[in-house]
Amino acid sequence: MFRHDSSPEAKLREDFGKTLRLALTSTLVAAAALLAYRFVFPARSVSPFAKVTNGTYFGLRNDKYHTDHFLGIPYAQPPLGNLRFQVPQPLNTTWADARNATDYGYACIGYGEDTAIASDDYVNEDCLTLNVIRPCGNYDGSNLPLPVLVWIHGGGYFAGSSRDQRYNLTFLVQKSARMGKPLIAVSVNYRLSGWGFLWSQEIVDQGIANLGLRDQRLALSWIQENIGAFGGDPSKVTLWGESAGAGSVSSQLLAFKGRDDRLFNGAIAVSGSPVGFGALNVQMETSEQAYRNLVDSVGCSPWSDRIQCLRSRPAQMINKALNFTSLGLIDQPSLQFGPLPDGDIVSRDPISQLHEGSFVGVPLMIGDCSDEGTFFASLASDSSRLNTVADIARRLSKYGLSTNIVDDLLKLYPEGPSSSILQSSGGTFNDSTGQHWKRLSTIVGDLAEVAPRRLSLREWKGHSNTSVYNFRFDVIPNGVSDYFSATHGVDIPFTFYNLEGAGFPDIAPPFLGPNPFHGKPKAYFDLADLVSSMWISFAHNGDPNLTGQKGPSWPPYTLQNPSQYVFSAEPTSHIVTDDFREIAIDYIIQLLRSKVSTFS
């Protein structure tokens, strides 16, 4: 848990949400998660059963929401002992008696003893589980099989869990049945931080890089083999993720040089793209040094097989060493963990792969939020005020950008209205940020999200005839500061149709309210209805449009008509041409294509 620190510097870090794990895992606090879990399960009656390849599970029936829940189902052997830092292995046991699937599995270990999870009772290496939620009814395969929507959580590749109640799929499944478009939803755990994304040449040589992605891949194989037992259609699986979850979805589209293993037939990526996170992408050099620091700190450097030594060390010892300070990552504004090329599941850099058309060309929905940069810019360890051009140049240089590139960016994003964030009503983030806060946020958001998305769209449509739908969330839920505005993650309560605020306690920036819809006008509820309905429709037939929908019809994105659906409450949702800040973003795209500086 976090130690209390009342110093001004600590208060500033708290206000900004400086540590990504606080911002992205705070709703995993055990007490809050447990309360939300009880909130969703007020009544239980008959236990549903499902017979999978290895045996039978019994789950929970929720009479209030008319849903069946099968929770904490293992899809792999526990990655313990000699299976730690190994490619995940399929289950190899069977059983005769029905096994309990009525509670979420452990959250995967993020990293470090300063995790925001309040109790170790909810965190364990043995975490490779998934959850299946289906509507009540005759959906065991004797009726028509249902489409499947698979959620992969975000969290910077080092935080998050499928037990996080912000990601409770109950409401979406209930809504799908009410719409007459019932679907089954699945959420997946995967190994995080150094447990799932440790990288070095030594790790690559042993074929054990990108284990978190390999976990996801095995979970998708389990779904293909077993979802029929729950009434699902293995030929109609749509992947869906946000932030690092969207990055994970994108990585699965590119995996093994774009090999189509028939694991999915659609994808939704929110605030993440096949190109990754641009200037925030994890770097090989940083990861290699972090690996060396880890083996040094746990006494494995002298071993001839240092990875085998890591397998022999107590989990608490490794976890204590897996923090930004010990790994030498504390001053890195980029991702500290994440996918990196290994010549296998991540065959090469994604930009080159997209340019070659080496990806699974399924129908795709991809988008982000209007003010992505306010969140990302707040994560920098440098908390000094941004009052001068020199201040903002110094902050930008921390992304590894050369002086010439920083100078170009400052010219392309001049001070004043031309660089204003789309949704923000004005002002600085707080009294400590300085007058260039909005300017920095706009640049960082374009570096990390907008330019990578636009480049991904252009490359995708250059090689695939499948439909692509481009979107942007331009809405500020309750509890989000005007300074954060329509920032990273504001889509979540809308897409999950979480009108009751499960998993949103009074936590940390950017969400500071118990219910994102509290006190909001009807337009916000209507927007949640529209968005979630479109997600459900896309999972059914690869098209988000609905008969008689309240919003405008959503045209596919084309190179000739780069349209974008703007999800908004006030004003209502509308269609625009995706060309804002076009000259500046095209400059960043050229950097991405050229693999300049940190973009390599």
pLDDT digits (tens, 9 = 90+) for 107-147: 999 854 333 443 456 889 999 999 999 999 876 655 789 99
Is residue 386 within 8 Å of residue 436, measured between CB atoms? yes
Radius of gyration of the chain (CA): 23
Confidence of residue 434 (pLDDT cuts 50, 70, 90): confident
pLDDT tens, position by position, 504-532:
875 556 776 789 999 999 999 999 999 99
- Beta-carbon contacts of 216 under 8 Å, excluding residues fewer than 6 positions away, are 152, 188, 190, 248, 252
* pLDDT on residue 513: 73
Running DSSP on this structure, what letter comes out for residue 199? -
* pLDDT on residue 381: 56
Identify any residues that bridge with 68 across adjacent strands, giving them in sequence order: 61, 134
Tokens 């399924």 correspond to: 362
Give yes or no on whether 49-356 and 364-597 have one common fold: yes
The two structure tokens encoding residue 285: 């050099």
Percent of the chain with pLDDT over 90: 68
Hey, which bits of 474-592 come out as E strands?
Answer: 563-567, 574-577
Q: Which of 128, 123, 130 is nearest to 79 (CA)?
A: 128
Q: How far apart are CA 123 and CA 79, in angstroms?
A: 14
Q: How far apart are CA 27 and CA 13, in angstroms?
A: 18
* pLDDT on residue 478: 93
364-597 maps to CATH 3.40.50.1820: yes
Q: Is the pLDDT of residue 596 over 80?
A: no
Q: Any idea where the domains of the chain sit in the sequence? A: 49-356, 364-597
Q: Is the pLDDT of residue 10 over 50?
A: no
* pLDDT on residue 509: 64
Section 346-360 average pLDDT: 95
Percent of the chain with pLDDT over 70: 82
Q: How far apart are CA 472 and CA 21, in angstroms?
A: 25
Q: How far apart are CA 86 and CA 83, in angstroms?
A: 5
The two structure tokens encoding residue 140: 């065991």
DSSP-assigned letters across all residues of 307-352: HHHHHHS-HHHHHHH-SHHHHT-TT--S-SS-----SSSS-S-HHH
Confidence of residue 32 (pLDDT cuts 50, 70, 90): very low
Section 357-382 average pLDDT: 90
Q: How far apart are CA 245 and CA 158, in angstroms?
A: 11
Which of 157-166, 200-209, 442-451 is predicted least confidently? 157-166
* pLDDT on residue 22: 35
DSSP-assigned letters across all residues of 438-496: HHHHHHHHIIIIIHHHHHHHHHHHHH--S-EEEEEE----TTB-TTT-S-TTTTHHHHT
Confidence of residue 187 (pLDDT cuts 50, 70, 90): very high
Domain 49-356 belongs to what topology?
Rossmann fold (3.40.50)
Collapsed DSSP state (helix, strand, coil) of residue 398: coil
* pLDDT on residue 137: 82
* pLDDT on residue 332: 59
pLDDT tens, position by position, 288-299:
998 999 999 999
Q: How far apart are CA 501 and CA 478, in angstroms?
A: 10
Q: Please, what is the average pLDDT of the chain? A: 86
pLDDT tens, position by position, 303-335:
999 999 999 999 999 988 887 555 655 555 667
pLDDT tens, position by position, 204-254:
999 999 999 999 999 999 999 999 999 999 999 999 999 999 999 999 999
Which of 271-285, 412-426, 472-486 is predicted least confidently? 412-426
- Beta-carbon contacts of 551 under 8 Å, excluding residues fewer than 6 positions away, are 530, 565, 572, 573
pLDDT tens, position by position, 161-184:
999 899 999 999 999 999 999 999
Identify any residues that bridge with 107 across adjacent strands, giving them in sequence order: 123
Which of 126-140, 320-334, 362-376, 476-490 is predicted least confidently? 320-334
